[in-house]
Structure 1
């Protein structure tokens, strides 16, 4: 009972007085993310209490920049949300966005006003911690995928034959450069290491001259590129550039999946770089590397699939399994590569829209915002929350987000992103 009160109990702070309250059913709770992840016992106990609040049209639920005291779900009616510049958008009950909270961050990123009479559910912000929990040694198969034989096989392999997992090797130039920088190597010595791989050296110069870096004087050689970008940023970029080798395979089965994964990872990493550059709260090159590696866990899974007889899997099972395996396996790969914990966390939580990581904008937040932006652009009617409603959005200091412009800064940087993609692809 204490756990239930912790998740659904009274929320602190002032809230407008409702017209009334009414019961909620477990059927309704099962439609809401991430509440649906809770046990049936907790859902039934909560549903037995009157927790739904009703408000008349015109009522303001919260205002932009106010501290957030709870997560709010819209169960009936329509709410208008307006950012600090007055740009508004609507969320209606029953829509894909209404399956998620209309607010869940540490502060409000919009002002919410009831357009019609509405019903809402308020819960503690702790509810957001119910998603994204997993054990490194275990891969949980969702109930609706219990019949996926391929996923069950891999989950058993991941748990009981962890040491046999086929983890790709990080390219040698990336390892040497990282080790050297950890020993406070100077620029000249770093350049010597990079030039051991002429292809990486040439690509680094090309990246340093791409539109992501505002400059009037082009970098003519590897040393110019390193000076412009900086040693630590160069380390991240060299790792990112060399990782392309890992996304290659002679297996016909793997080739198509890996090519698609590489393109998706490149696009995500470019969004991360631009968002980090504009927010100035995270290093852009680190953000790029986090975006590029957050789905790296798919590669060992595909290698496992390629070793199985063809009758043990099909395309549907593979596509169903990928979203389940990429986070826990990705964390294992990056840990094996001795990546810093911030990159491991980004891999673990890159699809966890409501991941709570304190008040400071992290690499995970950058990746989550970028991934959600990319998905909203491709899947307009998918089960995705409003981008301004997730906790990461509340941590941006220099600009605000709204679904109408869906990260307008990233749209404005389309040309830069495309040119950066071309640099990495060719």
Structure 2
């Protein structure tokens, strides 16, 4: 039992009702993320004890900026959450957001009050470290997708050939610039490398003059652009600018998927840049590149699919398989491209809402937050947590996130993102 108690813990709360605690069922636990990933044995054992806590209407669950001591799940009733600006929203039991903890970070990003009488489940924050059913470092097939023949073929090829896949090649100028900057070249030498590709040089100047950068004096040449942006940021931007040519295929079906992936990656990269600029905790150009490469693992899979006879795949199987393969395969691609470990972690973990590598905001956190931002209002029926509930949100120091604040940031950034995307996509 000690092992189980390490995950699940009882807590006393101010305002607790006199009602007797109710038992929670394994069926209820299997609806909660990421608790559902624990074994049936652990869930069954936990369900034999009284762990549901009833709180009266008006009870305060936690206050904004207060250190978190546990994660909480809402099982009955409605809770109001308000950020430090007083903007509030509600989460009701039975909703998609209630399947996730209403708090799970190192500190609370909102004040939570019981609007009605509620039932609450408190668990240790260690539950957030529970591995997902899909191990980010290994390519395996979930039970529910064993009938997906295309996924089975790709996994067999990937695992039996020692992760040998068709890796897309970066343009020579991007490779040479990355290698040169690792040797600590100066700006003049870097500019000479970039100018070997006039198209990329012109794009770099265009990006340096776009609304993402606050400046009154336009960059007139490649050197001006590199000086303004900085060597390391230039390296990442050159890689980003040159990536569009990777998203190409002669197969009409695969071409459509690659075009959709490119558009999604562009939008996500713009959000990453804006969020990094707001937070002042991560380099915006690192964040922009991370947004572009986070799903790069899909490309070798689509290339593999394009080489198969048409009868070996269909659109539904492709869509089912992409979320499974993109993390492990993306890590292989970025290692081959000699990307830093922080970008490899982006490929592995940025689709996991509850990934958490420590108290410091990472570029993976930025991508996770941007993914959630991008889905707000677009997937009303999706299983998405509240923006304030995920660990990444609790690491922001210079501003807080709420549904209203999120939409305000997106609105303010709309022009910047639109103009930046037009540069990268043309």
Q: TM-score, normalised by structure 1?
A: 0.97
**Which 10-residue stretch deviates more, 122-131 or 94-103?**
122-131
Q: CA deviation at 1:128?
A: 1.1
Could you say what secondary structure the match of 2:406 adopts? coil
The 1-side partners of 2:23 and 2:215 are apart by: 61
1:89 alignment counterpart: 89
**Contact 1:132–1:355 (Cα < 8 Å) also in 2:** no
Corresponding residue for 2:157? 157
State the distance in 2 between where 1:167 and 1:159 align.
Answer: 15
Q: How does 1:52-71 map to 2 (within 5 A)?
A: 52-71=52-71
Checking the alignment, whether the CA contact within 8 Å between 1:105 and 1:390 is kept in structure 2 is yes
1:95 deviates by 0.4
Question: Does the 8 Å contact 2:201/2:222 carry over to 1?
Answer: yes
Contact 1:60/1:113, CA 8 A, preserved across alignment: yes
1:133–1:289 CA distance, 2 compared to 1 (3 A): farther
Provide closer, same or farther for how the CA distance between residues 407 and 395 of structure 1 changes in structure 2, counting only shifts above 3 A.
farther
Other-structure match for 1:287: 287
Matches within 5 A, 1:123-134: 123-132=123-132
Quick one: distance in 1 between partners of 2:405 and 2:398?
16
* Map of 1:166 onto structure 2: 166
Alignment of 1:154-303 (within 5 A): 154-303=154-303
Q: 1:132 Cα shift? A: 4.5
Instruction: List runs of 5+ in structure 2 lacking aligned partners.
Output: none
Give the 3-state SS of the residue equivalent to 2:127 in structure 1.
helix
Superposed CA offset, 1:126-171 (max 9, x none) = 1111144766773122222122111122122222123431111122
User: Equivalent residues in 2 for 1:351-370 (5 A)?
Assistant: 351-370=351-370
**What does residue 18 of structure 1 align with?**
16
Q: For 2:161 and 2:9, locate their aligned partners in 1 and report how far apart those are by CA, in whole Å.
A: 42
CA RMSD of aligned residues (A): 1.4
Q: May I ask how many residue pairs the two structures share in their alignment?
A: 424
Question: Contact 1:136 / 1:332 at 8 angstroms: preserved in 2?
Answer: no
Deviation at 1:294, TM superposition (A): 0.3
Question: In 2, Cα distance between the equivalents of 1:144 and 1:123?
Answer: 28
In the alignment, is residue 346 of structure 1 matched against residue 346 of structure 2?
A: yes
Query: 3-state DSSP class of the match of 1:383?
Result: coil
Gaps of 5+ in 1: none
- State the SS of the aligned residue for 2:403: coil
TM-score using structure 2 length: 0.97
